[in-house]
Amino acid sequence: MNTAELPELKTPNWFALSGNLSDIGFVAIARKLPSLIRRALGMAWEAGPRDTIAVITLNLLSGVFTAFGLLATTGVLEALFSVGPTPERIRAALPSLILVATAAVLRTALQAGAGFSQARLRPQVARIAEERMYGLTSQVELAAYDDPDFHDALQRARNRGVDGPDAVVDTTLDTLTALTGILAAGGVLGLLHPVLLPLLVIAVLPDGWAAIRSARMNYEMSYALIPARRRKWILADLMARREAAAEVRSFNMRGFLMRMYDTVARAEQNVMLDVAGRQTVARLVGEALGGVGTLAVYVALGLLLGLGIVPLAVAGTAVLAIRSGQGSLQNLMYATNRLYEEGLYFTDYVEFCAEAERRLPGVPSADTPAAFERITVDDITFSYPGAETPALRGVSLHIDKGEIIALVGENGSGKTTLSKVLAGLYAPEGGRVLWDDRDLAHVDTDALRRGIAVIAQDHTHWPLSVRHNITMGTDRGEAAMLAAAEVAGADQVAAELPHGYDTLLDRRFKEGHELSGGQWQRVAVARGFHREAPLLICDEPTAALDARAEHALFERVRRHADGRTVLLITHRLASVRYADRIYVLDRGVVIEEGAHQELMDKEGVYAELYTLQADAYS
């Protein structure tokens, strides 16, 4: 398969998107790091304030004992290098040795305590981060899921971004640990001779440069490959998902899907191999320059010793301090590099959450009506993100309490979009939807949707029990659940299952069961009836039912509406004959309206469609 058929693979080189990533350079990220660290530590404090305090305090104390141990080492070396019999020198060194050992034990204990508290923080921060993100994704306006840019941002946030907060907290605390070690070793080196400290920094900086460059390459690669990896994930899901398994085999799709998957995987592989080569070059350059810097440190120390500027005992302590400081600096560069890299992904998380918050429904400025006498749709328009033409154009209609209203029209006419606007799922770009005189643009959409029940054609098969698939998290009691199931015919479905209403509806789990399309449809209908709502929207509710079951369902809807207002969307026009009013849509515009006989007398689009269907049954 040619990559030209897959537009997300047309990028010729992994760095082709670098122009869009100009804000992830070291200086740009360095400016963001304080804010990111504050956010991450704020989450750490929210997750576990005692653990946060413990990590910081214990690390600081560990640094104090590191410095104390290094200074005590000078006393040990001075005693050992002094003139006199060996036993006497050892005895003279014992007090300092005890201090060094005590400092080492205390430092180890403090670092272990800090590590324990840090380990406790990780899962707590991760939980808070995940709950925040999924709390937003389940609350954003529905139109966001029709926007490819939103999907890309969501993919980045889910892939690595949601791991960013606990990773940034972790690396921030690692950076603090390394900094305390550097301050301890650097303070000792500064006391021994000031020239040693800057030379030590020079020895480690090249490695830090290489690590930061490698991190930027990783992030640019991940950013550029997001669309391709999303396609790869979708293809993998198609080949491993039960719902698609039958058609994959029926249409011999395996070869086609594998060729497409291989095309995406090879393109991804080539990018990753190219990045691996570039990262290797960066690391080699960094290590070579770091070696030169280390050599300069030891040459300088040798000169100081040779010129008699520092005594042998001090030189020995300096070597230990240099080793300790170099190790701490390397840890710092590693932690800083991880902080930089994780900061990139954490930025994805933070920016996605900010974007999701911008897409949340507005703050209501009016009370949400509990019921209505009339719903008025006044000249509304709506377009999907990126669409060239509106899905709805100047649509106006009204629905009175207790009426059964039908929306009909060919595919793509706007029926389902209009129903979602009426259900409060989409906000119109222009025009108004009124419940009596209350504009729904100013009410709480969550509260509004509690007064609307939706029976959708593309209903979700929740991996829950039959009971929970009907009640959907509400608790109106057993009687209400059984009544809704009986009206929809779902009681017959439950009666055939081994555990009745407590049967799990997902074969991926032990003792789970799967329903047929018609059985699922009945459960979805019961779901709609169970919700006590003045408006019931039925969007192709009989798509998976046979003719007998379809007729029985519509009879139940008419018989058990109990004063509810029903909005019915269906292609089967025989089902809408008894509707109080029928609206015919075409390409987002209402072209006809009236009762069944009125529309038949007009001999327009509705009459044509109805006659075509009737002739098919003749």
Overall average pLDDT of the 215-227 stretch: 75
pLDDT digits (tens, 9 = 90+) for 293-317: 777 777 777 777 777 776 766 666 6
How high is the pLDDT of residue 588?
92
Q: What is the pLDDT of residue 544?
A: 58
Tokens standing for 206? 């090249």
Closest CA to 221 of 270, 262, 275: 275
- Alpha-helix residue ranges (DSSP H) falling in 138-195: 148-159, 164-192
Report residue 13's pLDDT band, with 50, 70 and 90 as the boundaries: very low
Band (pLDDT 50/70/90 cuts) for residue 374 is very high
**594, β-bridge pairs:** 582
pTM: 0.68
Quote the tokens at residue 9. 């693979």
* pLDDT at res. 21: 43
Torsion angle defined by CA atoms of residues 160, 163, 169 and 172, in that order, rounded to the nearest 10 degrees: -20
The band of 434, judged by pLDDT with boundaries at 50, 70 and 90, is very high
- Which of 52-56, 412-416, 490-494, 573-577 shows the lowest per-residue confidence on average (mean pLDDT)? 573-577
Class of the CATH domain delimited by 374-451+575-618: alpha beta
| Angle between helices 86-137 and 49-81 in degrees, nearest 10 | 160
In the chain, CATH 1.20.1560.10 covers 3-358
Please state whether beta strands 404-408 and 565-569 pair in parallel, antiparallel, or not at all (unpaired): parallel
Amino acid making up residue 202: I
pLDDT above 90: percentage of residues in the chain: 14
Alpha carbon distances (Å) from 380 to 229, 392, 438: 38, 7, 15
Task: Tell me the per-residue pLDDT of 145-186, one tens digit each, with 9 for 90 and over.
Answer: 888 888 888 888 887 777 777 778 878 777 777 777 777 777
CATH 3.40.50.300 residue spans of the chain: 374-451+575-618
**Contact present, 193 and 305 (Cβ < 8 Å):** no
- Which residues are CB-contacts of 163 (< 8 A; sequence separation ≥ 6)? 126, 129, 345
Q: Examine the pLDDT at 381 and tell me if it is beyond 90.
A: yes
CA atoms of 104 and 60, how far apart (whole Å) = 15
Question: Tell me: the pLDDT tens digits for 455-480?
Answer: 887 788 888 899 999 998 887 889 99
Give the span between the Cα atoms of 196 and 298, in whole angstroms.
Answer: 9
Q: Does 83 or 176 have the greater pLDDT score?
A: 176
Among 481, 487, 488, 450, which Cα is nearest to 467's?
A: 481
Query: Which pLDDT belongs to residue 496?
Result: 92
Residue 141 has pLDDT above 90, yes or no: no
Q: Residue 84: pLDDT above 60?
A: no
Q: What is the pLDDT of residue 82?
A: 58
Looking at residue 17, what is its pLDDT? 37
Q: Which two tokens stand for residue 49?
A: 């304030």
Residue range 3-358, CATH number: 1.20.1560.10
Q: Which H helix or E strand runs over 471?
A: helix 466-471
Give the confidence band of 129 by pLDDT, cuts at 50, 70, 90. confident
Residue 186's pLDDT is what?
A: 72
Q: Would you say 294 and 319 are in contact if contact means Cβ atoms under 8 Å apart?
A: no
More confident: 360 or 583: 583
135, with CB counted inside 10 A (0-12, 13-18, 19+), is exposed
Task: Give per-residue pLDDT as tens, 508-522.
Answer: 788 888 888 888 888
E strands within 386-526?
A: 392-400, 404-408, 430-435, 438-439, 452-456
pLDDT for the residue 598 = 92
pLDDT tens-digit series, residues 538-571? 888 766 566 666 667 777 766 666 678 999 888 7
Give the angle 9-14-17 at the CA atoms, nearest 5°. Answer: 85
Q: What is the mean pLDDT of residues 279-301?
A: 78
The residue type of 369 is P
Residue 346 has pLDDT above 60, yes or no: yes
**What is the Cα–Cα distance from 582 to 576, expressed in whole angstroms?**
8
- How large is the average pLDDT for residues 116-144? 87
72 vs 119, more confident: 119
380: pLDDT strictly greater than 90: yes
- Token digits of residue 286: 């960094």
What average pLDDT does the chain have? 79
- What band does 433 get if pLDDT is binned at 50, 70 and 90? very high
